[in-house]
Amino acid sequence: NSRAQRCLTFTSEPLEGDVEITGWPAVQLELSTTSDRGAIEVTLEQVGQDGSAAYLSEGFLNFEHRRVRADPGGHEGPVWHSWSKADLAPVNPGEPMDIQVEMYPISSIVRAGDRIRLTIAAADADNLVVPTQGDEATLTITIGGERAGRLILPTVNESVIPTAQVVEGGFDGESGGYAFRRPVDPPMVRSG
**Higher pLDDT pick, 151 / 7:** 151
Q: Residue 60 has what pLDDT?
A: 93
Please compute the mean of the pLDDT values over residues 169-181 and round it to a whole number. 36
Q: What's 63's DSSP letter?
A: G
Q: In CATH, which superfamily holds the domain spanning 2-191?
A: Galactose-binding domain-like (2.60.120.260)
Instruction: Single out the residue of 87, 79, 88, 92 nearest to residue 32, CA to CA.
Output: 92
Q: Residue 64 has what pLDDT?
A: 93
H/E/C letters for each residue in 120-189? Answer: EECCCCCCCCCCCCCCCCCEEECCCCCCCCEEECCECCHHHCCCCCCCCCCCCCCCHHHCCCCCCCCCEE
Q: What's 15's DSSP letter?
A: P
pLDDT more than 70, % of the chain? 72
Record the pTM.
0.76
How many alpha carbons fall within 13 Å on the CB side of residue 102?
A: 18
The string of pLDDT tens digits covering residues 4-50 is: 567 889 999 999 999 999 999 999 999 999 999 889 999 999 999 99
Distance CA 192, CA 181 (A): 29
Distance CA 62, CA 38 (A): 6
How many alpha carbons fall within 13 Å on the CB side of residue 118?
A: 27
Instruction: Give, in degrees to the nearest 5, the angle at Cα 134 between 130 and 136.
Output: 85
Distance CA 150, CA 44 (A): 13
173 CB-near residues (< 8 Å, 6+ apart): none
Instruction: Give, in degrees to the nearest 5, the angle at Cα 70 between 69 and 73.
Output: 125
Mean pLDDT over each residue of the chain, to the nearest integer: 79
- Rounded to 10 degrees, what is the CA torsion of 190, 146, 80, 95? -90
- Phi, psi angles (nearest 5°) of residue 85: -60, -35
pLDDT band per the 50, 70, 90 thresholds, residue 114: very high
Look at residue 180 and tell me whether its pLDDT is greater than 50: no
Instruction: Indicate the domain borders of the chain.
Output: 2-191
The string of pLDDT tens digits covering residues 44-92 is: 999 999 999 999 999 999 999 999 988 788 778 888 888 889 899 999 9
